[in-house]
Copies of this chain bind each other. A is one copy, B any other.
Amino acid sequence: MNITERSEVRRLPKRGSHDEAIIHRILDAGFIAHIGFCVDGQPFVIPTLYGRSENALFVHGSAASRMLRQLDKGIPACVTVTIVDGLVLARSAFHHSMNYRSVVAFGTARKIEDAAKKTEALRVVSEHLIAGRWDDVREPNEKELKGTTVLEFTIEEASAKVRTGPPVDDEEDYGLPVWAGVLPLMMTPGEVVPDEQLHPEAELAGYVRDYGKRL
């Protein structure tokens, strides 16, 4: 990955990385990207689903979306993905922290015009969210494709930040009788809620039932 001033990890560099494999792994484990862009100096940060293929991220939305129309101008964008892994409870307020994995990626986005490429990008987003689903559902028709804008965001530079492990307290605070440790947090699926108008022959697929194993 390229590194310039904008992507250089300056705070706590021991937690930072520019390793492409680490960056891809975090992007593949995340759910939601927060996309930032500027209009006349005003920042906008919008949450969105995404998918990844090599160094490209795909995001989609209505053709009327303000965000997508702005981004398609080729303005600089920043895509950030954050995964929370736990609360780090130290003996002092100061050393409390979070275990997390995050990627901050810089680049620009462009609309995908070609219908086949667009459908493939939508498949990548769908499979990222829930692998196996695409083959079971009705594919987008021409009208739906026309009403959908799909952007390809090319990662020019990115950095990852990861914190793992126990709290690190000041030496003298280890003598305090305060419980300390990590409270792991993770995204967990609950019980599925079948649609009320379910077709009598519709069966719950394994990729839905076993979704938690991916997380």
Contact = CB atoms under 8 A, between A and B. Distances in A.
A191 B186 CA distance: 11
A139 interface: yes
A6 to B, nearest CB: 6
A189 B183 contact: yes
Nearest to A130: B87
A24 interface: no
A190 B195 contact: no
What is the interface of chain A mostly: helix, strand, loop, or mixed? mixed
Interface string A1-12: 000001000110
A173 B84 contact: no
B185 A188 contact: yes
A17 B86 CA distance: 31
A62 to B, nearest CB: 6
A204 B124 CA distance: 44
A196 interface: yes
A138 B96 contact: no
Interface in A135-193: 136-141, 144, 148, 166-167, 173-193
Interface of A: 6, 10-11, 31-32, 34-38, 41-47, 49, 61-62, 64-66, 75-80, 82, 84, 86-87, 89-94, 96, 98, 100, 102, 104, 106, 122-123, 126, 129-130, 133-134, 136-141, 144, 148, 166-167, 173-205, 208, 211
List of 6 A-B pairs having minimum Cβ-Cβ separation, nearest first: A184-B190, A36-B45, A36-B43, A38-B38, A34-B34, A188-B188
